[in-house]
Amino acid sequence: MDCSICTTMPFILRPPRNTICAACYEGARNLISLVNKFDGDISSNHNHKCGEKSGGTNVISSSNLSCKGFANVLKWVKEMKDMEEELNDKISFLGEFEAAFKDEIHTDILVKPGNNGPPIPAHRALLAAKSEIFKNMLDSDDCKEAPNEAITLPELNHDELESLLKFLYSGSLPIEKVEKHVYSLSVAADKYEIHFLQKFCDRQMLNSLSSSNALDILEISDVCSNLTLKDTALNFIVRNMEDIVFSSKFESFALKNPHLSVQITRASLMDIKNRRNNAM
């Protein structure tokens, strides 16, 4: 059937000219459904917040949640583009914090790594705003005085500490720094309750999960008590048992983490049992 949307030569279409093929029809429906879903999520969140402020219950108008045709889809795409530009402007504006860190403008605290490396100047207010743990470390109370000159993060070396501070100031890191320090940053994010950094590290580890790093990710997820990441890594190891268990690093991993080795064995046996039951 000639399609009025995806054909490369629309001038040869025979009547009726408004026919579309099955692929374009499904694509159109999926696109409109996707926009409706996002619109519904945004409207629900907005009305929920308004309801909390007013103390009442809001009814979401059906006209706000319905998307009638491609005209509204295109309008939504334009709104998302405008929102993206606004967010980019905001990121650029907030990027001045990174410049203050880089140029050491009015820094008022030194952050020391744990390997006796050189300390890094930072700002108390920013550290306290990014982490409740840092806030408590920098606060004074009846039992302790606020540190006047420096605090120490003993689990990080100088390069790892610098990457952590750069992330706190900018919200991102160059990919080479992420790949090099993702495990140490994940542990630091867990210890100091830097939730955005923890999510950032989780995404990086999930996106890079492979036979070569699955044991490392399983170990980190166990240290951080990250059950979602741990289940994903454990399931991946079970599906790739031969490549991983017979690798050179598995023996040292097993000696260091006997409890995780037991969990891998049990998960593997359960997987074999389930496959046998499904085959019956």
The better pLDDT of the pair 156, 30 is held by 156
Cβ–Cβ < 8 Å for 189, 131: no
Which of 96-100, 160-164, 168-172, 197-201 is predicted least confidently?
A: 96-100
CA distance linking residue 9 with residue 269, whole number of Å: 58
Judge whether residue 145 has pLDDT over 50.
yes
Cβ–Cβ < 8 Å for 263, 234: yes
Token pair of 151 as six digits: 């605090």
Phi and psi dihedrals of 113, rounded to 5?
A: -80, 170
End-to-end, the C-alpha distance of the chain in Å comes to: 45
Residues 6+ apart with CB under 8 A from 228: 202
Which of 26-35, 116-125, 201-210 is predicted least confidently?
A: 26-35
Q: For residue range 169-218, list pLDDT tens digits in order.
A: 988 899 999 999 999 999 999 999 999 999 999 999 999 999 999 999 99
Band (pLDDT 50/70/90 cuts) for residue 17 is low
- CATH topology of 95-172+184-193 equal to that of 209-280? no
For every residue of 74-116, which 3-state class applies, written as one string?
HHHHHHHHHHHHHHHHHHHHHCHHHHHHHCCCCCCEEEEECCC
Phi and psi dihedrals of 121, rounded to 5?
A: -70, 140
Specify the pLDDT at position 76.
Answer: 75
CA distance linking residue 150 with residue 146, whole number of Å: 10
What residue spans define the domains of the chain?
10-94, 95-172+184-193, 209-280
Report the residue count for the chain: 280
Tell me which fold the domain 95-172+184-193 belongs to. Potassium Channel Kv1.1; Chain A (3.30.710)
Least Cα distance to 111 among 132, 137, 129 occurs for 137
Token pair of 146 as six digits: 């606020």
Could you give the dihedral angle defined by the CA atoms of residues 186, 192, 197 and 199, in that order, rounded to the nearest 10 degrees? Answer: 70
CA distance linking residue 214 with residue 233, whole number of Å: 6
Most confident option among 19-23, 169-173, 227-231, 245-249: 227-231
Mean pLDDT, to the nearest integer, of 258-265? Answer: 95
Specify the pLDDT at position 15.
Answer: 57
Tell me which fold the domain 209-280 belongs to. 1.25.40
Specify the pLDDT at position 96.
Answer: 74
Token pair of 195 as six digits: 């939730």
Token pair of 42 as six digits: 């945004």
Specify the pLDDT at position 66.
Answer: 45
DSSP letter (8 states) at residue 151:
E
Mean pLDDT, to the nearest integer, of 2-8? Answer: 67
Cβ–Cβ < 8 Å for 113, 161: yes
User: Residue 67: how many CB atoms within 10 A of its CB?
Assistant: 20
Mean pLDDT, to the nearest integer, of 45-70? Answer: 48
Burial of 9 (0-12, 13-18, 19+ CB in 10 A): exposed
Mean pLDDT, to the nearest integer, of 22-40? Answer: 76
Judge whether residue 245 has pLDDT over 50.
yes
